[in-house]
Amino acid sequence: MSVTDTTQVEYETVIGLEIHVQLATVTKMFCGCTLSFGDPPNTHTCPVCLGLPGSLPVANAQAIHYGLMIGMALGSELAPRSIFHRKNYFYPDLPKGYQISQYDEPLCLGGTLGDVRIHRVHLEEDAAKLVHVGASGRLHASDASVVDFNRGGTPLAEIVTEPDLRDATIAAEWLRMLRATLRRLGVSDVNMEEGSLRCDANISIRPVGSAEYGTKTELKNMNSFRYIERGIRAEVARQTQILRDGGEVEQETLHFDPRTESITSLRSKEQAHDYRYFPEPDLTPVAITRAMLDRAAAALPELPLARAERFERDLGLSADSAHLLAFRTELGDYFEAAVGAGNGGTTVDPQVLANWIANDLMSRIGADADPAESRVAPGAFAKLVSMVGAKQVTQAGGRQVLDKLVADGGDPATIVEAEGLGAVGGSDELAPIVEAALAANPDVAEKLRGGDMKPIGVIVGHVMRETKGRADGGEVTRLVRQQLGL
C-alpha cells in the first residue's frame, strides 16, 4: 500500500459529547419568570429574559446549587470563584444578541463518570425557541419563522466530556448512564422528548494507532438515544468516505435528519474567539461558600454506580441485574422495598426477585412503567416469589397469580387458594399420577427405559394436564426416573 493510498486505511472514531441539561428550578436562570413546557407562546417573559434595555439579571441560587451537586456527583473540582460571561452571537432566538454563559472560570472542572472523563460543567441560559410556519399557518419548514420566548432564559448545566468515546453505541449507553445519574440527583427531569436533555456530539476519525486527532465536526441538538447512535454512525460514514476519496473533512456544525439519514451543514464550526467572550458586567462573581458546599453534599443521594456495586456486593446480584435496577431508579426502589418486605419474615432470594421484576412484572405493566404505581405491592410481590421458591405454587401458577395481582392487587396466598393454584403436594400425591401417565404411554415409557429421554415431555405434559398445571416439573421428572429405575 502506498503512502497516498487511503482506500485501505482503517479508521478509529473519536467522540466527545456536550450535554445540555435543563435544571429543575422553579424560575429562569436570571429572572423570576416561571418555567413552563407546552404553555401558550410568550406567556412567561419579562424585560430581563427579553433582553430589554435597562433590565438587570440576578443569578438563580437554586441553579448554582444544582450545578454544585452535579459537580460533586461527577467528582469535579469545584471553583471557589466562578464568573459568568457574555457569549456573543446573533440569532433570531437570542434577543440580547448574546447568551449569558461561563467561559474560563466555570463552576466545575474535571471529573469522571464510568470510563469517560469530564472536561467541565458550567451554567448558562437557554435560547428561545424558533417555530417555522408556512403560508397556511401550519408548522412548516419554510416561509416564515416566529419566536416563542417562554424557553428563553431557562437554566442549563452544560456537561462537556473529553474525547474518550470510540463507538456510537457506547456513546448512547454512556449518555443513558449520565441521564440516570442526573435523574437520581433530582436536578432535572431529563425528559429528552421535551428538550430537558439535549446532546451535541463532536466527531472525528483518525487512522487506527494514530495519536493525533482528526478534524472534528459537531452534530447539534440530538434528543433521543437512537437518534444519537444513528447520527454518529452516519457522520462517521460520511467522514470515512471523504477521506477514502482523498478529500479533507471540514470543521463545521451539522444537522442529522433521522427521517432521511441525511446530514446537512448548518454553519462553519466556531472557535472560542468567534464568540468574543467577556465577563458579564451586570453579574457579580459567584463565591462558593462552605455552607453552599455542605448543602450540596447533604443533598446527594446514593448514585447509580454506587448502588449497582452495593447490589452486587451485598445482595449477590449479577452485574446485569444490578445495573438494570440501579440505573432505573424506580425499579431499584421497588426492588429494595420488596427485599425489605422479605426481611420481615418472607424468605426470598434477591436474584430470583430481580429476575421476576425484569422478566415477569415489567412485561405485564409495561417496560417503561413505575412498578410502585401498579397494584402489585412490593410485599405481595416478594411473598409470591417466595411461594414459588418454596414450591407452594409452580412457576406457571405463580405467573397466573401475578396476572391477578396486576389486575386487582391483593394477597398472593388468598389468590392461590381461591383459584386452586396451589402446587400438588409431595411424592405421595404425585406418584400415582406419574404411574398412570407411564401406563397410558407405554411406547414412551419403553424409550425412556432405553435411555432416550427426549420424549419425557409427553409424560410431564400428561401429568400437568391431570393436575391443571399445578405439578412441579422437576419433581415429575424425578419420579419418572425413580419409577423406571433410571
Q: What is the pLDDT of residues 155-178, one digit of tens each?
A: 999 999 999 999 999 999 999 999
CA distance 89 to 91: 7
Predicted pLDDT of residue 138: 56
User: What is the pLDDT confidence band of residue 1, given thresholds at 50, 70 and 90?
Assistant: very low
Domain that holds residue 395: 302-419
Predicted pLDDT of residue 2: 45
Please determine, for residue 130, whether its predicted confidence score (pLDDT) is greater than 80. Answer: yes
88-92, 130-134, 143-147, 479-483: which has the highest mean pLDDT?
A: 88-92
Same domain, 43 and 145: yes
Please determine, for residue 77, whether its predicted confidence score (pLDDT) is greater than 90. Answer: yes
User: How large is the greatest C-alpha to C-alpha distance in the chain, in angstroms?
Assistant: 97
Same domain, 289 and 342: no
Q: Cell 435544571 maps to which residue?
A: 23
User: What is the pLDDT confidence band of residue 428, given thresholds at 50, 70 and 90?
Assistant: low
For residue 454, the domain's CATH number is: 1.10.10
**3-class DSSP state of 145:** strand
Predicted pLDDT of residue 457: 78
Domain end point (choices 258, 275, 297): 297
Domain end point (choices 366, 398, 419): 419
Let me know if residue 370 belongs to a domain. Answer: yes
CA distance 299 to 109: 20
Least confident range of 27-31, 137-141, 213-217: 137-141
Let me know if residue 5 belongs to a domain. Answer: no
Same domain, 412 and 440: no
User: What is the pLDDT confidence band of residue 429, given thresholds at 50, 70 and 90?
Assistant: low
Same domain, 241 and 350: no
Same domain, 197 and 250: yes
Least confident range of 55-69, 213-227, 445-459: 445-459
Same domain, 440 and 383: no
User: What is the pLDDT confidence band of residue 404, given thresholds at 50, 70 and 90?
Assistant: very high
Let me know if residue 393 belongs to a domain. Answer: yes
Let me know if residue 331 belongs to a domain. Answer: yes
Task: Give the tens place of pLDDT for each residue, 430-466.
Answer: 777 777 878 888 887 777 777 777 777 787 778 777 6
Number of domain units in the chain: 3
Cβ–Cβ < 8 Å for 445, 397: no
Same domain, 269 and 142: yes
Let me know if residue 2 belongs to a domain. Answer: no
Please determine, for residue 471, whether its predicted confidence score (pLDDT) is greater than 80. Answer: no
Please determine, for residue 423, whether its predicted confidence score (pLDDT) is greater than 70. Answer: no
Angle formed at CA 64 by CA 61 and CA 68, multiple of 5 degrees: 140
Let me know if residue 402 belongs to a domain. Answer: yes
Same domain, 415 and 433: no
Q: What is the mean pLDDT of the chain?
A: 88
Same domain, 60 and 87: yes
Pairing verdict, β 116-125 and 144-148? unpaired
Q: Cell 466562578 maps to which residue?
A: 82
Least confident range of 231-240, 257-266, 358-367: 257-266
**3-class DSSP state of 108:** strand
**Sign of the CA dihedral with 363 first, then 365, 366, and 367 last:** negative
- Whole-angstrom CA distances from 100 to 49, 261, 281 are 11, 34, 11
Residue 316: which of 361, 276, 351, 364 has the closest Cα? 351
Same domain, 336 and 350: yes
Domain end point (choices 368, 398, 419): 419
Phi, psi for 170 (deg, rounded to 5): -65, -35
Same domain, 143 and 191: yes
Let me know if residue 3 belongs to a domain. Answer: no
Same domain, 112 and 244: yes
Let me know if residue 442 belongs to a domain. Answer: yes
